[in-house]
Amino acid sequence: MDNPRNRNKDDRHGNVGGVNTSTCRQLADIIGGMVIAATPVCVVQRLRNINATNLGRRTRSPLALPFALSFEDNRNGNTLNLGETVILQKK
């Protein structure tokens, strides 16, 4: 059974809370982004260089420009992978 006390502890393989921090860094490198969090869930984000507008006003908000991916620890051969992006109206 999963012990909450061990969830965020490092192990000798670079795993933090079940997520390999090296793998998280590799994912960030692949998408050209940065690691936002590596424990207990790996979250990487890349801000897109697009001309976004909201109600006719140009925005550089990190809420309008990001592409983000996350993954959680491998449990019995299964990982939870999520992605989020903003879709432009013209695309």
The predicted-structure confidence for 43-53, as pLDDT tens digits, reads as follows: 999 988 888 88
Q: Domain of 29?
A: 12-85
d(CA 80, CA 73): 7
DSSP three-state, residue 21: helix
12/85: higher pLDDT:
85
Report yes or no on 1 lying in a domain. no
**Mean pLDDT over residues 50-68, rounded?**
87
Report yes or no on 70 lying in a domain. yes
- Count of domains forming the chain: 1
Average confidence score pLDDT of the chain: 78
pTM for this predicted structure: 0.67
d(CA 24, CA 43): 8
Report yes or no on 72 lying in a domain. yes
